[in-house]
Amino acid sequence: MPRKPRVCIFHTGGTLGMEPGENSEDELITMDETACPLETMCKDDDDDDDDENCEPCEVVERQTTQQETHARKSKSLEKATPYDVTLGNYGALEPGNMLDRLVDRIPQMTTFADLDLYVLFNEDSSNVGPDHWVTIAEELDARRDEYDAFILVHGTDTMAFTASALSLMLVGFGKPIVITGSQLPLGAPRTDARMNLIDSVSCATNPVLLRAPEVCVCFDGKLLRGNRTQKVHASSYTAFDSPGVAPLAMLGVDIVWGEAMLDPASFHDAPYTPRFDLDTRVLRVPVVPGVNPYISYGDCVERGVRGIVLEVFGVGNMPNCPSSQWLRWLEDQADKGLKVYLTSQCASGDMRPELYQSGSVALRLGAQGGPRMIPECAVVKLMLCLSNQDVRLSDPIAGELG
């Protein structure tokens, strides 16, 4: 009998593992940055002197015991009606310890793989940024040879940024990295967490993705290319989409794989090239009619900014009339060495700034743009480009353009 694939699940926080809080500082659970297997967390918090059982549990700092905290928050869930729990009316959600028995809660995952679970950190994803991306990427790199695939549990608010970052930082990784989360906590009656996790493990261990691995987002029955994914809805289960790009797979009764996976792109065969340096001195600037950029943004270079993602109209246009200051401001900043990349404010369609004079002028002033790259990915790639001379904004490295 063939062995099951080995899958590593990294937990980084987000709604999936949250619990209702009581807005009291003495009840918060915080996680250390050190990775630790979740299965080895203490099962008996009363035996604090048992070093043999509690050695790994130094990752959990608490002023109240895990047992007391879990009991208190369970009562909060019990008091709420299913409708209240769905709406989150039982108290503000905070990072919790919902994943300490994840396999027990969702045993179906073990149908597909042998699982190891680790906590990297436990953050609301609103707080996740470049330092966290580097932490995740380095952990993936360190464990690359140990597992067949990886699952990353992540909050939804910045999931698209993290997905883009990992795809660009770990080009040629050679193993599926599937990022997922949920709109409701795992303990909520109508949670989407259970199916999202089962789908993620199912996709990550599927021969199709194992043959053509990449960084993906799995959410609400869709598998999406990570660096083409955007959060499109704040409260629907269908929270993510890849506008203008077909899903890699649709998960219904069967997994229906898209053409992109059945005819894999060349980047799937790229040599493994990890990059962990990011220059965060970048800015995302939307072009707004009538706005004077000298007033709104001033001298970016003088303030230490090295690059901007300039969000322009349509296929790549921006104001070029005599009364507009945009092109003059762009020329001033480019002359001072500011790197500029153009992205479209449109969710879908081509990005071809050379088509119109109002876009081609920006190109002549030194801006780069096209083919299309979503703003989230453009910001991350600009950070990477500023720190790695071998990365060029307009050259695709992980299927992020087009």
**pLDDT of 270:** 87
Contact 281, 257 (CB under 8 A): no
Residue 242 annotated as binding site: no
Question: What percentage of residues in the chain have a pLDDT greater than 70?
Answer: 80
Q: Choose, from 156, 158, 205, 343, the residue flagged as catalytic.
A: 156
Q: 350-386 in b/e burial notation, b at 16+ Cβ within 10 A?
A: ebbbeebebbbbbbebebbbbebbbbbbbbbbbbbbb
Neighbour tally for 393: CB within 10 Å: 20
Cis amide leading into 176 (omega within 30): no
**pLDDT of 96:** 60
Residue 5 C-beta-side C-alpha neighbours within 13 Å: 23
C-alpha 99/C-alpha 274 separation (Å) is: 29
**pLDDT of 240:** 98
**pLDDT of 93:** 62
**pLDDT of 400:** 95
C-alpha 314/C-alpha 292 separation (Å) is: 20
Strand pairing of 177-180 and 170-171? unpaired
* pLDDT at 138 > cutoff 60: yes
Domain extents for the chain?
6-269, 282-387
Which of 53-67, 301-315, 348-362 shows the lowest mean pLDDT across its residues? 53-67
CATH number of the 6-269 domain: 3.40.50.1170
> What is the residue-averaged pLDDT of the chain?
85
**pLDDT of 92:** 67
Residue 141 annotated as binding site: no
Is 156 part of the annotated catalytic residue set?
yes
pLDDT band at residue 170 under the 50/70/90 scheme: very high
pLDDT band at residue 23 under the 50/70/90 scheme: low
C-alpha 63/C-alpha 68 separation (Å) is: 10
Q: What confidence tens digit (pLDDT) does each residue in 78-119 have?
A: 444 444 544 444 456 666 665 557 888 899 999 999 999 999
C-alpha 192/C-alpha 205 separation (Å) is: 20
Look at the alpha carbons of 288, 293, 295, 300 in this order and tell me if their dihedral is positive or negative.
positive
Instruction: Return the CATH fold of 282-387.
Output: Rossmann fold (3.40.50)
Q: What average pLDDT does the segment 275-295 reach?
A: 97
CATH topology agreement for domains 6-269 and 282-387: yes
Of residues 362, 275, 273, the one with CA closest to residue 312 = 362
**pLDDT of 193:** 96
Residue 125 annotated as binding site: yes
Q: Measured in Å, how far apart are the chain's first and last C-alpha atoms?
A: 43
* pLDDT at 189 > cutoff 70: yes
C-alpha 346/C-alpha 290 separation (Å) is: 19
Q: What average pLDDT does the segment 155-167 reach?
A: 98
CA 284 to chain centroid, in Å, comes to 18
Report helix, strand and coil shares of the chain as percent, to nearest 5.
Answer: 35, 20, 45
State the DSSP H helix or E strand holding residue 9, giving kind and residue range, or none if neither: strand 6-13
**pLDDT of 260:** 85
Phi/psi for 13 (5° steps) reads 120, -160
pLDDT band at residue 241 under the 50/70/90 scheme: very high
